[in-house]
Amino acid sequence: MAKQALWSGRFENEADESTFRFTSSLDVDSALAFYDVMGSLAHVRMLKKQKIIPAKDADEIINGLIRIVKKMEDGDFNVDESLEDIHTNIEFKLTEMIGPVGGKLHTGRSRNDQVATDLKMYLRDIILEAVIDIDTLATSLLRIAEEHGDTIMPGFTHMQHAQPVTLAQHMLAHVFRLSRDADRFIDAFDRMNRCPLGSAALAGTTYPIDRKMTSDALAFKSPTQNSMDSVASRDNVSETLFCASMTALDMSSICEELILWSSQEFGFIEMADAYTTGSSIMPQKKNPDVAELIRGRTGTVVGNLVSMMMTMKGLPLSYNRDLQEDKEPVMNSMVIISDSANMLSKVVSTMKVNKEAMQKAAEKGFINATDLADYLVVKGIPFREAHSIVGESVRYCIEKGKTLEELTLEEYKKFSGSIKKDVYDVISPKACVERRISYGGTSSGSTDMQITEAIGAIMERDSKIRLETQLIEKCWDDLLKDV
Ligand code: ARG
């Protein structure tokens, strides 16, 4: 049977065992244990300074909480399954260790503001970790871009050969997507970085608490502004889940391409043995399972976002127990994101690029047709007419089994008198790429600039992460100081 619940006083009879089991959140919120103690340490130090509880009692609580952290570090903190959540477990453990004075810890707070605060502290840390992992992946893609500024490959639209690009340009497209994903996480971090502690159950408290002090002590930017909003809102969780979903989609897109590119039909890349698997029946197989699972888990990540938003739909203010369902989806998604980013980074940094296959593919599909049209425009022909001249030339090539570069000047003359010898200078795939000098285009000058910009963004995030991590760690050190 359950130990006394925190709220047992009002009840004549105990809740049924099944009710305890059904309402427990312990398997999920144990992950918040460390943050919960940090929140309690900040709270009790504030109660002491504000003389809300006697200094002597506060000191006993502080020392007890510090001992609990040591126990956790030593793997010596066992949760009691019969206590409904991690907050209850920690408070019970404290009281077991230091006696009834432990009961003074919960003065002027509620589990409602406590859990909102704990979850934010947890999210801050895993967001910073996720950004590091995303930037590790972005860096692996950047390495490929740096190496392949002159590797020509077909650029696709509608999965049809469109115009030649370089592998650098293609990789950088993914890098900038991931860079925005990482920035989005940082934005979510900054937006959620206000402290709900002290909002109590929903309406604030009659004690002369100092919310600025607890907020500072827990490395938050400031306290939240409204007590009801503080305990009722989980947009920070939904936003984190959206950031995760967007990142998952972007990684899935990379995976889809790598899977395609490693097929016999494309042969653009070969994945390293270390990050592929074999078949139990077909001895020749080398399967891109890692990439496939990253793509596949995107479904779970997006599902978690939808699940959280549906939990929130129509909830009235303020705290409702439905909110307990907030942790599992976000914890699950963030593990998937970090694992996937790290695995994909390994796949990318160990894969072999088949430059020749890419280059060869770029010669097919009249990928330089736009360049031929642009050439005619420079010669004074209106673009519409140029478009049709090139269309006819392409049709002719298809009939003759030739490429546009292989047509002789004689043949070109049939389509337009304006085509001269210099046409060959602009329609080679290399020329097509190098002449695309517009900002953000595929020329090597442009990709070099893009690389510099992408590295700058990664460095900026890196210093932000260092700063925030230092700030958080300094707070933990201060809170863990003996009294
Ligand atoms: N386990 C609860 C949660 O995760 C803690 C808050 C409980 N508050 C309450 N009023 N029952 O949301």
What CATH number is associated with residue 421? 1.10.40.30
The answer as to whether 459 is a domain residue is: yes
| Span 93-144, pLDDT tens digits | 999 999 999 999 999 999 999 999 999 999 999 999 999 999 999 999 999 9
**Rg of the chain over all Cα atoms, to the nearest angstrom:** 30
Return d(Cα 341, Cα 247) in angstroms, integer: 9
What residues contact residue 155 under an 8 Å CB cut-off, 6+ apart? Answer: 161, 162, 163, 164, 165, 169, 170, 367, 442
144 close to 353: Cβ distance less than 8 angstroms = yes
Tell me, using a 6 A CB cutoff, whether residue 85 lines ligand 1.
yes
Is residue 2 predicted with pLDDT exceeding 50?
A: no
> Tokens for 384?
């519409």
Q: Do 43 and 168 belong together in one domain? A: no
| Span 50-93, pLDDT tens digits | 999 999 999 999 999 999 999 999 999 999 998 999 999 999 99
Tell me, using a 6 A CB cutoff, whether residue 324 lines ligand 1.
yes
Active site residue 158: yes
The answer as to whether 433 is a domain residue is: no
The answer as to whether 436 is a domain residue is: no
Is residue 12 predicted with pLDDT exceeding 70?
A: yes
The answer as to whether 437 is a domain residue is: no
pLDDT at 435: 92
Share of the chain above pLDDT 90, in %: 93
Give the lowest-confidence range in 47-51, 355-359, 429-433, 455-459: 429-433
Tell me, using a 6 A CB cutoff, whether residue 308 lines ligand 1.
no
Q: Do 330 and 378 belong together in one domain? A: no
The answer as to whether 2 is a domain residue is: no
- Ligand 1 centroid to 203 CA: how many Å? 16
Q: Do 36 and 91 belong together in one domain? A: yes
Cis ω for the linkage preceding 318 (within 30 of 0): yes
Domain boundary among 77, 107, 137: 107
Domain boundary among 88, 107, 126: 107
Is residue 346 predicted with pLDDT exceeding 80?
A: yes
pLDDT at 169: 98
| Span 443-480, pLDDT tens digits | 999 999 999 999 999 999 999 999 999 999 999 999 99
> Tokens for 452?
């510099």
Which of 158, 280, 438, 463 is labelled catalytic? 158
The answer as to whether 65 is a domain residue is: yes
Active site residue 106: no
Q: Do 189 and 265 belong together in one domain? A: yes
Tell me, using a 6 A CB cutoff, whether residue 47 lines ligand 1.
no
Burial 79-101 (b: 16+ CB within 10 A, else e): beebbbbbbbbbbbbbbeebeeb
Q: Do 244 and 391 belong together in one domain? A: no
What CATH number is associated with residue 72? 1.10.275.10
- Ligand 1 centroid to 113 CA: how many Å? 9
| Span 265-297, pLDDT tens digits | 999 999 999 999 888 888 888 899 999 999 999
The answer as to whether 443 is a domain residue is: no
Return d(Cα 150, Cα 429) in angstroms, integer: 11
Q: Do 146 and 275 belong together in one domain? A: yes
| Span 316-342, pLDDT tens digits | 999 999 999 999 999 999 999 999 999
DSSP per residue over 316-339, as a string?
PSS--GGGGGGHHHHHHHHHHHHH
The answer as to whether 353 is a domain residue is: yes
For the chain, the average pLDDT equals 96
Q: Name the band, by pLDDT with cuts 50, 70 and 90, for residue 4.
A: low
Tell me, using a 6 A CB cutoff, whether residue 237 lines ligand 1.
no
- Ligand 1 centroid to 344 CA: how many Å? 37
- Ligand 1 centroid to 7 CA: how many Å? 12
pLDDT at 1: 41
Domain boundary among 71, 87, 107: 107
269-270 and 222-223 beta bridge pairing: unpaired
What CATH number is associated with residue 142? 1.20.200.10
Q: How many domains does the chain have?
A: 3
152 close to 430: Cβ distance less than 8 angstroms = yes
Q: Do 474 and 387 belong together in one domain? A: no
The domain in which residue 332 lies consists of: 112-361+450-479
Average pLDDT over residues 39-43: 98
Q: Do 186 and 306 belong together in one domain? A: yes
Q: Do 116 and 99 belong together in one domain? A: no
